[in-house]
Amino acid sequence: MKTGDTVQFKDGLYNDEIGARYKIVEINGDRAIIEFICDLPIPPQSVAMISELEIVHGEENEIPG
């Protein structure tokens, strides 16, 4: 996992995160700053544990819109 990767939370961790995709902005130790992929002018950012994330592959990796 590296800066710029598209990720999602692993299945079963958070029901309200199903289908949400994020870009990794920065990695700091065992945490990552992630940016929600959306069409808002300023996409929300948050911090997540790297162990809770997985890389999205294939067509799912495309930014919606």
DSSP character string of 26-60: EEETTEEEEEE-SS-SS--EEEEEGGGEEE--GGG
Query: 59 pLDDT exceeds 60?
Result: no
Are the CB atoms for 7 and 17 separated by under 8 Å? no
Predicted TM-score of the model (pTM)? 0.82
6-59: CATH architecture? Roll (2.30)
Question: How many angstroms separate the CA atoms of 12 and 23, rounded?
Answer: 20
Taking the C-alpha atoms of residue 39 and residue 54, their distance in angstroms, rounded to an integer, is 22
Inter-residue contact 48 to 34 (CB < 8 Å): yes
Q: How far apart are CA 45 and CA 25, in angstroms?
A: 9
pLDDT digits (tens, 9 = 90+) for 11-57: 989 998 999 999 999 999 999 999 999 999 999 999 999 999 999 98
